[in-house]
Structure 1
Amino acid sequence: MTTKDATTEKTVPKSIHIDFLDQSSDDSNLEDSNTLAKEYTLDIPRIPSVELPLHVSGRPESVTKAVSMCGGIDKIKEMLKKSTDPEVENYLELYLNDMKTKDGTENSFFNEHPIIGKPVPYRDSSVVLKVVMPKGTMKKHEGNIQKSLASLHSKDYKITPVAVVDNTIKFREMSDFQYRLDNVPAANEYVQSFGSLEWQNIKQLVDSVPDNDTMPQENISNLIFNRGLKSPSSDYQLPPPPRLSMIGFPHLYKYKKNPLAVKKADGVSEVKGSYIKNYQLFLHTLGDDVKIPLQPHKSLQNDYKIAKETNIYPGTKESSKFYESLEECLSILEQLFEKRPIWIKRHLDGIIPKRIHHTLKIALALITYRFTMGPWRNTYIKFGCDPRSSKEYAKYQTEYFKIERKLLSSQTVRKNIPKLNEPVFESNIPGDIDTRFRFDGKQIPWYLMLQIDMLICEPNVAEVYDKVEYLETPNEITGWFSELDLVKIRRIVKYELGCLAQGNLDFNKYKLKYFKTMQYVKESLINEKDIKESQAVDADGDIDMDNDSNGNKGDNNKSKEITPGDIEDEDDDDNGIIAGEVDEDALDAEESDSNDNIRIADAMEDEITQSKENFDLSSANFQDVVARIMESDPETAKRLQAELEGFVNINKI
């Protein structure tokens, strides 16, 4: 964020919401309460950035010092340039110490280690705004840009987007205590002798060391230390540890123990397995200059080549039979990607057999690549397949829908939403996508990241889809579709999902007709007469969520006339359904495929045996018991899971 106070510019490391309307309490000053904020094009320069864990002021000397701590501007430019290459692993080193002694010489002694920063290209884009306001406004409000803007009329300041930050190097490592050894005699002697690489200095140091005691262990118990003497803080003669923290990154709150670590009957812990690297290829933009990968990462090719020659995949043991399972998984995937070149991994989870599912991530990395943004985000695309090349790939674009928390607060709604808790399951259609992933207007799908062809089972969506006019070239926002066509589809799905979540299967046909015949993306541009001709006078298709504790409905259940204002408000509410806004938690779980190493058990049977030995019925929950029953009697387990909700304490029966 760049702000300009008269002739002075300042950098504010905050993101704010800016209302372009007059925020005065006097509504008479507003010509139109429904006036839209001014739109700005984002066809502006893309710039990189470095996010430092430092307090950097706007003074040139402060910026210069921060840059030098990262190795200089040339080093930063080199790292930012490399970060766009998916096959190059690189990082930037930030030294908290200036690495120089008092006389100005370089000093990299002992634990003056750097913090590692890694690039995150195209994942956390942000807009740099230039804010111009009257001189003295920022000073009057103590540099607070929000208060400064709130105190001004909209005509008294100007806000302009000047750049988009789409490539950022971030430092997420923990910073621990480090010791400066400038005043330590032993450290200075080392730097001046061995550090200088001058033989004369080294020889002088060696000659100054007294003869070594050949038996230093003798009489050690008779040594007397004078604890009363206070040593100065600068007299630190022992070399400090290289690092004080045992881990580079702090643990997440959702920390999980190593699933391969088991505890034997004698209480001894043992890790029965290993980890192997997942080299999934990612593309970070849909630009014309981006070339579609034709083969997997070079390191993955090398691992696979070794596995073919030795029948053992690198990082696994022969007993795990990982390579044999991987070959079987690849054979199945090759057939699936011949029929359908773009898949969502959740759909594949139900097709790949459970006994070889642990090889799926490696197998996908061997035959597919992924986009981190755009209409095909969160999908696996066959090598050589370019979804930008033909309109036939439009049906594989993804749309995301999310049920809001305010809706999920209802017990009734939670019961109406199906859950797929098992990471590995069996599709109800052998070799194809489970029907419960499709949206037909009669049930809520298992997974709300839906490809377009998973939506056209619903008649109203299919009606819009059949009339779609594709764009000449796809864009990063709507792909092959026009914005209006996607808005129509999203509106229909959001409305019906909201109704289904509330247990209402009787959709309002007038609302659906309105959604299908929309002429503009923004309803405020629609002629009021056209709206009234295409909609009903009541909205009883919705179920009122404002019920009291006894289930009685409030006044909001009464019929009322729908106005353009209601339609506009409904865009924000939409029956408690959000569309187009990606749930970062869901994506983190899905996209962790590229970040996490793959866990491989050395011997699956041993692991199952150990888990059975450690199973404690007194502490197991309902799902644990069902999972145990599933191993020997799947039919009974499924019946129990469907008919029972959990355990009841015997004292409460």
Structure 2
Amino acid sequence: MTDDKSDLARLSPTPERCAALAKEYTLDIPHIPSLELPLCVSGSQESVTKAIAMCGGLSKVKEIFSEHGENVDSQRGLELYLNEGRDDDGCERFFNEHPIIGKKVPFRDESIILKIEMPKGTLAKHGQNIQKSLESLRSRDVRVTPVAIVNNTIKFREMSDFQLRLDNVPSAEEFKTSFDALDWSKLKSFVESVPDQDARPFENISSLVIDRTSKIPGGDFQLPPPPRLSMVSLPYQYNYKANPFATKKSNGVSEVKGTYIKNYQQFVHDMNDNTTVPEKPHASLQKDYEAATATGVYPGTKKESGFYESLEECLKILKELFARRPIWVKRHIDGIVRKEIHHTLKIALALLSFRFTMGPWRNTYIRFGVDPRSSAQYARYQTEYFKIERRLLRSPALRKHIPRPPPLIYESDTPGDIDSRFKFNGKQIPWYLMLQVDLLVEEPNIAEVYSKVDFLPVANELTGWFPELDLAKIRRIVKYELGCMVQGNYDFNQYKLKYFKNMVYVKESMIKEQSTDPEGDVNMDEEDNIDSSKPIDDGVPNQEEDEDYDNGVATGEADEAALEADEADEDDYVPVTAINDGDDAEDFEDDQAFDVRSASFQEIIERIAKVNPNVAQRLQKELNGLVNEADL
């Protein structure tokens, strides 16, 4: 179908070519608006009339469609009421009645409504499936006619909310007839009926007269409900990911490969002084392990799976690791444990360690009995989180500088120890941006700061053993160098680094003035002559002057998207069988590294092709690319 004859004119007018051309239709047809309702509306007149009435009537719908402008926020929106509306007196039946707001879709492409005619009974024969019905017919048996163009659409994307009906509750009725109705005489009467300085406001609660004739039974609920019970109008994005061990058969049924057992990992959820750390594994886990030791078969597994033998080998490796280093990040251990026994790692970790869910040792695995708050020697194992901002990640030119994160199972380039690619030394972007402090000290400037740290007498939840200023110095150096490396720049400004190492304030907003000598050094002793209004030269950063103050890198809380696969680790169950070599392992590792939010169009097509090559081929042919959800 086309209304552009220029393309047809370039084709050779051979009989074979003419026979292959589709019939031309004129698009001089009506332009109509579209109202997409979150309702089940049938084709009957009664159903359509009721749906329009729920939107305020036909005149209201026309009024909203007639509004001009593409700015959605400036539109009033169409109100859709999902309840029974109003009673005979025009009063709202629901105490906190409110609608769902529908907005016009901005920059919407025009859609064409087609009228398709086919032999009677064809649709019924193919289960009302239009696509299959058309495929079963010859072209001369089908008549397709464009009847209208949709050029204006209202959609409802808000969530509906709970609403309460309190017709039989006296206090709700009093409120509706006074405050809600704005009737001054009733409002005054209501206020005067409330005793001044009522010492016993609940004294008459048991003597209230409840209307038991209401169709909706009620109780002694005497407080007005909130206008909205949901805190948000749009649903959350939960970033759901399918089970990587699940496969879909040709008939569409999903099947999970293998069986799962509970790992009973222990967590500590606060850092109060009276909080003690676990000394031994969870009682249920101890029971399972003792049974496995006695029988040679771990509960929930089969002997032929060899799970117990693999677990024992994994425990031997972890005991050696925890003897050398009491606090570990799981991603570091992943490269040390062999692939064949990796599936036992979570059980082995639960048998030897616990975890904090907050504070400076968050998401690390800590050997039982070790309390990192007890000594400053554990400061080196504190974790710091860094995140490259989206504006840098969106740039194809900059993304090439960022290494792809390691697969779920990899082999460390340092046998029996942490892979060197996890370390921050100012010469490479680390594989993983959750960094323990001792992985930062290979960078000379950070090592200089660390060597001068005077640890706090007591660890706290925010900075652990570090004074806030020392931790701020380390963070600033990492943020600056990491931001430079992302942009392909490894020639760091030494004046900036010197400034970071000699900071005297945690935040630049606390500084009144800074002066520099001819070499660009900052005079940190002249605190009495400070004036922040003067710019800082020679590379020394100033929060107001430097727009790229953080150099494109954020720090502080962990990036949940980066942690959800392994460090968040909220899944209490682990697979019994190991990941086999070959396609399954490759697919599983690929699933862990793939992020649909940053994947290119071609990468998405390639993944679709693994499941359905025909669909991938059609999408590749028909689509030119993807549009970010935020730009729709």
If the length of structure 1 is used for normalisation, what is the TM-score? 0.50
Report the CA distance shift for 1:603/1:314 in structure 2 as closer, same or farther (over 3 A): farther
Write out aligned runs for 1:292-307 (5 A): 292-307=277-292
Contact 1:312-1:323 within 8 A present in 2 as well: yes
Displacement after TM superposition at 1:411 (Å): 1.7
Structure 1 residue corresponding to 2:564, chosen from 584, 588, 613: 588
Query: Aligned-pair RMSD on alpha carbons?
Result: 4.4
| Pair 1:533–1:296, CA change in 2 (3 A) | farther
Q: Secondary structure at the match of 2:355?
A: strand
- 1:55-88 Cα deviation digits (max 9, x unpaired): 799x9999xxxxxxxxxxxxxxxxxxxxxxxxxx
Give 2:302's match in structure 1, choosing from 317, 322, 339: 317
Residue 54 of structure 1: how far off its partner (Å)? 6.1
Instruction: Choose the corresponding residue for 1:507, options 460, 482, 492.
Output: 492
Q: Name the residue aligned to 2:416.
A: 431
Aligned residue number for residue 452 of structure 1: 437
Aligned to 2:573: 597
Aligned match for 2:261, one of 255, 270, 276: 276
Q: How many residues align?
A: 372
Distance in 2 (CA, whole Å) between partners of 1:293 and 1:350 is 27
The 5-angstrom pairing of residues 332-371 of structure 1 reads 332-371=317-356
Q: Please list the CA deviations of residues 601-630 of structure 1 after superposition, one character each: whole Å capped at 9, or x if unmatched.
A: 389589969999xxxxxx99889999xxxx
SS of 1:401's equivalent?
strand
Name the CA distance, whole Å, in 2 between partners of 1:388 and 1:405.
35
- The answer to whether the Cα contact below 8 Å between 2:542 and 2:549 also exists between their aligned partners in 1 is no
CA distance in 1, matches of 2:410, 2:587: 20
CA distance in 1, matches of 2:376, 2:472: 19
* C-alpha deviation, 1:529, in angstroms: 3.7
Alignment partner of 1:578 is 2:578 = no
- Identity of matched residues, %: 54
The residue number in structure 2 matching 1:525 is 510
Q: Is the 8 A contact 2:352 2:367 kept in 1?
A: yes
1:236-635 to 2 correspondences below 5 Å: 253-257=239-243, 259-261=245-247, 263=249, 271-530=256-515, 535=520, 561=537, 566-567=542-543, 570=546, 573-601=549-577
Gap runs ≥5 in structure 1: 1-52, 63-101, 108-142, 145-169, 173-249, 538-558, 613-618, 627-647
Structure with the larger RCO, 1 or 2 (CA within 8 Å, 6+ apart): 1
Letter in 1 for 2:429: I
Q: For the residues of structure 1 that align with 2:485 and 2:435, how far apart are their CA atoms? A: 17
Q: What amino acid sits opposite 1:595 in the alignment?
A: D
Instruction: For residue 470 of structure 1, report the CA deviation from its aligned partner.
Output: 0.3
What amino acid sits opposite 2:566 in the alignment? E
User: TM-score, normalized by length of structure 2?
Assistant: 0.52
Answer whether contact 1:282 1:371 (CA < 8 A) is retained. yes
Q: 2:350, 2:331 → 1: CA distance?
A: 15
Alignment partners' CA distance in 2, 1:431 and 1:586: 25
**Aligned counterparts, 1:105-116, within 5 A:** none
Deviation, 1:566, is 2.6
Does the Cα contact within 8 Å between 2:514 and 2:536 map onto a contact in 1?
A: no
Q: Which amino acid in structure 2 is aligned with residue 366 of structure 1?
A: L
Structure with bigger gyration radius: 2
Alpha-carbon distance in 2 for matches of 1:491, 1:371: 25
For the Cα contact (< 8 Å) 1:524–1:568, is it kept in 2?
no
Q: What is the one-letter code of the residue matched to 1:600?
A: V
Cα separation, 2, equivalents of 1:603 and 1:536: 56
Report the CA distance between 1:257 and its aligned residue: 4.6
CA contact (8 A) 1:513 1:534 kept: no
The question of whether the paired residues in 2 share the 8 Å contact of 1:317 and 1:602 is answered with: no
Distance 1:473 1:560 in 2: 36
Q: Label 1:602 to 1:413 Cα distance change in 2 as closer, same or farther (>3 A).
A: closer
Would the alpha carbon gap of residues 465 and 607 (structure 1) be closer, same or farther in structure 2, given more than 3 Å must change? closer
* Counterpart contact for 2:269–2:358, Cα < 8 Å: yes
Provide, for residues 247-268 of structure 1, a one-character-per-residue CA deviation record: whole Å limited to 9, x for no partner.
Answer: xxx995533156154749x999
Three-state SS of the structure 2 residue aligned to 1:432 is coil
C-alpha separation in 2, matches of 1:60 and 1:327: 68
Distance in 2 (alpha carbons) for counterparts of 1:253 and 1:60: 45
Task: Give the 3 Å change call, closer, same or farther, for CA 569–332 of structure 1 in structure 2.
Answer: farther
* One-letter code aligned to 1:566: N
CA contact (8 A) 2:285 2:351 kept: yes
Structure 1 stretch displaced more, 250-259 or 469-478: 250-259
In structure 2, the CA distance between the partners of 1:605 and 1:344, relative to structure 1 (3 Å rule), is closer
Q: Distance in 1 between matches of 2:445 and 2:421?
A: 19
> Is the 8 Å Cα contact of residues 579 and 585 (structure 2) preserved in structure 1?
no
Query: Is there any run of 5+ residues in structure 2 with no aligned partner, and where?
Result: 1-160, 173-211, 218-225, 523-534, 589-602, 611-619, 622-632
CA 536–407 in structure 1, closer or farther in 2 if over 3 Å, else same: farther
- What is the identity, as a one-letter code, of the residue corresponding to 1:445? P
Distance 1:487 1:283 in 2: 26
Q: Map Cα deviations across residues 329-376 of structure 1 (whole Å, 9 max, x no partner).
A: 000000000000000000001000000001111110110000010000
Q: Distance in 1 between matches of 2:442 and 2:607?
A: 33
Q: Residue 492 of structure 1 aligns to which amino acid in structure 2?
A: I
Contact 1:263 1:270 in 2 (8 A): yes
C-alpha separation in 1, matches of 2:541 and 2:583: 61
Query: What is the rounded CA distance, in whole Å, between the counterparts of 1:496 and 1:433 in structure 2?
Result: 22
Partner of 2:598: none
